[in-house]
A and B are shown apart, each in its own frame.
Chain A
């Protein structure tokens, strides 16, 4: 399977001359997808009304976008299929796995700390109040 993939990549590289490998295009695609998700995180951090909703945007979007971007770069840096580039690929995948485990855990710990610190989530009444205030203005 490995050698097939390699032949495919090399053949397409020689066909395009100095062009970009299809694997690299896949990496660019993953990177842009990650940026899209990080855009969601940024907008959510900016616009959501209280801490828990912001945590929702940051926890989910941050984990997924970081993982997608790292996968994108793991594919992007895969020039030739030599041993050292495979090692690099495995290392970046290790970072991805680590972030997959650790970021949700730290989000959970922060959420629990906030909840036990009596940080109240925004209720519907609060929302109505703030809307009324905005109308008055």
Chain B
């Protein structure tokens, strides 16, 4: 039981990520896709700790997990800042249509 727990946990995480990947793939708006990427990025910290537990090198992989969490936060802030600074996506599409017509 004890040695199988991390593996089972990792597989379950992967299975539960499938709906989130579906949301990234289909997502009606761009924000849905960004949200899905953010969720998976947060879960990657857990996956890194799981991988560390499987290979008995948790002390090493925890550092990766911290760095990944930091960079994931930075990426979310980048995207939201960019969307804040620019006009809305609908207006952009309308402008493109105008330019084509």
Contacts and interface: CB of A to CB of B under 8 A. Distances in A.
Chains A and B directly touch (beta carbon < 8 Å): yes
Interface of A: 20, 24, 28, 31, 34-35, 38-39, 41-43, 45-46, 51, 54-55, 58, 62-63, 66, 69-70, 73, 76-77, 84, 87-88, 91-92, 94-95, 98-99, 102-103, 105-107, 109-110, 112-114, 116-119
Contacts, number: 145
B46 A66 contact: yes
A106 B77 contact: yes
Contacts of A39: 16
Interface of A (DSSP majority class): helix
A109 B81 contact: yes
Given A45-B36, A113-B31, A119-B29, A95 B90 contact: no
A88 B73 contact: no
Interface residues of B, number: 49
Given A54-B32, A92-B62, A109-B77, A45 B13 contact: no
A35 B42 contact: no
Given A84-B59, A105-B73, A113-B31, A42 B80 contact: no
B35 A54 contact: yes
B23 A113 contact: no
Contact of B62 (A24, A95, A102, A107): A95
Given A98-B70, A102-B69, A20 B1 contact: yes
A100 to B, nearest CB: 11
Interface string B1-20: 11001100100110011111
Interface string B38-62: 1100110110011001000011001
